[in-house]
Amino acid sequence: MPTPDWSPIKALAQTPLTDLFADDPDRLAFLTADVAGIHFDWSKTHLAREAVEAFAAHADAMDLAGKRDALFAGEAINVTEGRAVEHSAQRGEGAPDSVAQARAFHARMRALIDAIEAEALGPIRHILHVGIGGSALGPDLLVDALGRESDRYDVAIVSNVDGLALEEAVKDFDPQATLLAVASKTFTTTETMLNAESAIAWMTEGGVADPYGQVVALTASPDKAIAWGVDETRILPFSESVGGRYSLWSSIGFPAALGLGWDAFEELLEGAAEMDRHFRLTPLRQNAPVLAAFADLYYTQVRGCETRGVFAYDERLRLLPSYLQQLEMESNGKRVTVEGEPVTWPTAPITWGGVGTDAQHAVFQLLHQGTHLVPVEFLGVVEPEDVQSEAHHRQLLLNMLAQGAALMKGKGHEDAARAYPGDRPSSTLLLDTLEPRTLGALIAFYEHRTFVNAVLLGINAFDQFGVELGKEMAKAADAGDLDFDASTNDLLSRALGA
């Protein structure tokens, strides 16, 4: 694999955004795309035609097209773990055997959902999903974004090991009518297993005679779930080749499939598959995940940006920034190449963000006048939700569009404190509607963009060894096998009296 050579891209002229528009009358057509009900606009980024050409040459040098084919063919592109990366197969786009296996697992999930709906597990009204990281953030985003109007089941998703999280989640739940979904790819994650045990204790205290009879396991380690006490018939497996942060399409999406209904879950998969096909078949220069990655890399490699901001101007997408934090930072927060050599260029920026318009009144000061250049991504939905009044929705979208324009245009003033430098970049994603199909396409877009970034950076997006050390040290300290440093020992004795 070649080492990325950023010098042709760094050598390009740095033209202000307003000049880029003035110089190229077709800029809008060139830097916009419409895919699967989403309009993408990168015209307010500093990508000029020459930059796109330079990035396209870089993509060829890094064999992006070959890597993309390898991803969809189910080759073991996660080289450090010797695994294929098959979240797309969950949507029907991948190696035939993997697609067939995903369909069989989905059929099993659907059959269990049908049985639950038919009250085979009793009169279930509440779903308590415990999981963490990729086993919680995806389902949480789906249920929060799409489940507001649903009166099917109450869904609570608990991730934090802080007991308060569980206590608050179940405070209005009847243990007799609660289904506990334990979501863990490995079925060993400390937080999830402790939360699951506490949930069982809560059910027992609530008079449930057979609490394990109300448990469903969502896992790639069925043996461990059986050993923990879950009946084989209520285990919903998924493949090892589906990474945790890419797993909402598998049985990890169970609370969404049950909470929103199977048809909605299938539409989600179909929307993602539409984005898969776009990514797989569209030439690089018109390819949405590829163009987005070009813009990402322009700011990290050329302008030295260390963060990127994501602002959803829709309450239903308020969990998107947290979801993207794991997807992007756990995937591409790496310091060695695919070959294990240290990188000498920046990898993933820090993803952060919030919800508009709230964020405007909190953090946008820095975006407009601070010393950090932050590429901003705006997301809006054209069609309001039923309960959103026209007037509110209009204000929401007007504000989003005005912020992008203001960041780019700036404003001179004789008083420097009141001047806006402008020339600050943003991209905008406009969803026609927020439905399972468009949300599926949106999430798949982010997955592929993350992959393209990794390929062009020369790194592996699919391992996450960096999360292990802290976990190991906590376990060792719990077992009394670790003597920390002086500071941590002092804090330990203050915090836990140990």
- In the bound state with ligand F6P, the residue whose beta carbon lies nearer, of 210 and 472, is 472
Q: What CA–CA distance (Å, rounded) separates 384 from 68? A: 36
Q: What CA–CA distance (Å, rounded) separates 212 from 469? A: 32
CB of 122 to ligand F6P, least distance (A): 27
Q: What CA–CA distance (Å, rounded) separates 188 from 123? A: 30
The verdict on whether 10 is a catalytic residue reads no
CB of 177 to ligand F6P, least distance (A): 26
- Count of residues of this chain found to bind ligand F6P when the rule CB under 6 A is applied: 14
Could you tell me if 306 and 346 are in contact, meaning their C-beta atoms sit under 8 angstroms apart?
A: yes
Q: What CA–CA distance (Å, rounded) separates 475 from 324? A: 28
- In the bound state with ligand F6P, the residue whose beta carbon lies nearer, of 143 and 208, is 143
| Residue 464 in contact with ligand F6P, rule: CB under 6 A | yes
Kindly tell me the burial class for residue 32, based on how many C-beta atoms sit within 10 Å of its own C-beta (0-12, 13-18, 19 or more). Answer: middle
Q: What CA–CA distance (Å, rounded) separates 437 from 435? A: 5
Could you tell me if 428 and 309 are in contact, meaning their C-beta atoms sit under 8 angstroms apart?
A: no
Q: Which x/- pattern over 232-261 shows residues binding ligand F6P (rule: CB under 6 A)? A: ------------xx----------------
| Residue 460 in contact with ligand F6P, rule: CB under 6 A | no
- In the bound state with ligand F6P, the residue whose beta carbon lies nearer, of 137 and 310, is 137
Q: What CA–CA distance (Å, rounded) separates 405 from 423? A: 10
- In the bound state with ligand F6P, the residue whose beta carbon lies nearer, of 130 and 295, is 130
Q: Which x/- pattern over 5-34 shows residues binding ligand F6P (rule: CB under 6 A)? A: ------------------------------
Could you tell me if 408 and 426 are in contact, meaning their C-beta atoms sit under 8 angstroms apart?
A: yes
Binder to ligand F6P among 88, 101, 135, 178 (CB under 6 A)?
Answer: 135
Q: What tokens appear for 28 in the block?
A: 């809008």
Give me the catalytic one of 93, 274, 328, 330: 330
Stretch that binds ligand F6P, among 131-139, 200-208, 226-234, 440-448 (CB under 6 A): 131-139
CB of 252 to ligand F6P, least distance (A): 8
DSSP 334: -
201 sits in which H/E element: helix 190-205
| Residue 278 in contact with ligand F6P, rule: CB under 6 A | no
- In the bound state with ligand F6P, the residue whose beta carbon lies nearer, of 37 and 255, is 255
The verdict on whether 361 is a catalytic residue reads yes
Q: What CA–CA distance (Å, rounded) separates 407 from 44? A: 9
- In the bound state with ligand F6P, the residue whose beta carbon lies nearer, of 133 and 425, is 133
Q: DSSP string of 282-304?
A: S-GGG-HHHHHHHHHHIIIIIS-
The verdict on whether 471 is a catalytic residue reads yes
Give me the catalytic one of 361, 390, 414, 468: 361
DSSP bridge partners of 474: none
Using CB under 6 A as the binding rule, the residues of this chain from 140 to 199 that contact ligand F6P are 184-186, 189, 192
DSSP bridge partners of 32: 41
Q: What amino acid occupies position 451?
A: F
Map tokens 């999903």 to a residue. Answer: 129
Using CB under 6 A as the binding rule, the residues of this chain from 411 to 430 that contact ligand F6P are none
Nearest to 23 by CA among 50, 42, 55: 50
CB of 102 to ligand F6P, least distance (A): 17
- In the bound state with ligand F6P, the residue whose beta carbon lies nearer, of 116 and 183, is 183
CB of 159 to ligand F6P, least distance (A): 9
Rounded to the nearest 5°, which phi and psi values hold at 147?
-100, 5
CB of 415 to ligand F6P, least distance (A): 49
Rounded to the nearest 5°, which phi and psi values hold at 179?
-100, 125
Using CB under 6 A as the binding rule, the residues of this chain from 386 to 415 that contact ligand F6P are none
Active site residues: 330, 361, 471
Contacting positions for ligand F6P (CB under 6 A): 132-135, 184-186, 189, 192, 244-245, 330, 464, 467
